[in-house]
């Protein structure tokens, strides 16, 4: 015979399960979060670095561009330390320069593993930007050139990194793209913290392409259905299943409490 104490224990057990189910609906598995907020931080798992997979022309171009970025942003950051009178710009330059030394090491290691030949000097555009900074006659002039040139360059490579991260078949390039993304996002934020970024002067995003076809979008010859998880039918929404289970548990708790309360 079930006693009142057993009933209370059963109710508590059901409530505990209900709480875990509801928690699973609001906290994605495996995703860390930034302190004090709900912004997810990519977990440092699941990425291999064996040089496995086809290396495309776009992959090689990406690895070369990461190298080129370091070749001009390191000396630019060093100039910021020397020429700027603004402590914010000095700190930004010092930080970006030091971080590009780290990123450059990661890039050179990846290039060596994949047999990609890297340049040893900035390209003509980058050399021109460095020349502008060298000839700046005042601290304010230098600061404006430094921040505008670096912010524009980071904004240009940012979407390119996303494309490589999402599409590359090579695991070493994929890991480098993930790492580079974190560096570039940090540098963009640092540059914007200066308060002198001219956002109106930045290139605008291209106009969206209007889709003319209906149905799933083909990717490399495969049709990806938005809600399908396999087979030919619609996929099952996990959240709906969990909500149904949660409702059943609630009903069970209420029924159990009513039965033993009446006794």
Name the one residue in this structure whose structure tokens are 């495996």.
30
**Domain span(s) for CATH 1.20.1260.10 in the chain:** 46-201
pTM over 0.75: no
User: What pLDDT is attached to residue 231?
Assistant: 44
- Contact between 79 and 93 (Cβ < 8 Å): yes
Taking only the tens place, the pLDDT of each residue in 60-111 is 999 999 999 999 999 999 999 999 999 999 999 999 999 999 999 999 999 9
pLDDT tens, N- to C-terminus, the chain (263 residues)? 556 565 566 555 555 555 554 444 444 444 566 555 688 878 877 899 999 999 999 999 999 999 999 999 999 999 999 999 999 999 999 999 999 999 999 999 999 999 999 999 999 999 999 999 999 999 999 999 999 999 999 999 999 999 999 999 999 999 999 999 999 999 999 999 999 999 998 988 888 987 665 555 555 544 444 444 444 444 445 555 556 566 666 566 566 556 555 55
| Overall fold of domain 46-201 | Ferritin (1.20.1260)
Q: Look up residue 128 and give its two tokens.
A: 């021109």
């Amino acid at each position: 015979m079930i006693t009142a104490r057993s009933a209370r224990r059963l109710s508590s057990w059901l409530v505990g399960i209900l709480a875990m189910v509801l928690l699973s609906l609001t906290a994605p598995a495996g995703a860390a979060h930034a302190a004090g907020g709900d912004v997810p931080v990519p977990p440092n798992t699941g990425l291999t670095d064996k040089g496995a997979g086809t290396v495309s022309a776009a992959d090689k171009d990406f690895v070369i561009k990461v190298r080129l970025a370091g070749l001009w942003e390191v000396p630019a950051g060093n100039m910021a330390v020397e020429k700027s009178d603004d402590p914010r710009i000095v700190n930004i330059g010092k930080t970006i320069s030091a971080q590009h030394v780290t990123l450059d090491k990661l890039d050179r290691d990846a290039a060596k593993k994949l047999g990609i030949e890297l340049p040893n000097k900035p390209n003509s555009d980058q050399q021109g930007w460095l020349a502008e900074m060298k000839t700046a006659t005042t601290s304010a002039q230098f600061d404006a050139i430094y921040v505008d040139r670096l912010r524009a360059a980071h904004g240009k490579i940012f979407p390119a990194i996303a494309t490589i991260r999402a599409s590359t078949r090579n695991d070493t390039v994929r890991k480098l793209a993930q790492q580079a993304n974190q560096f570039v996002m940090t540098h963009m934020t640092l540059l914007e913290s200066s308060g002198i970024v001219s956002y109106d002067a930045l290139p605008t995003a291209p106009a969206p392409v209007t889709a003319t076809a209906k149905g799933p979008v083909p990717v490399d010859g495969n049709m990806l259905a938005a809600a399908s998880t396999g087979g030919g039918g619609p996929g099952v929404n996990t959240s709906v299943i969990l909500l149904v289970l949660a409702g059943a548990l609630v009903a069970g708790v209420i029924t159990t409490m009513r039965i033993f309360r009446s006794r």
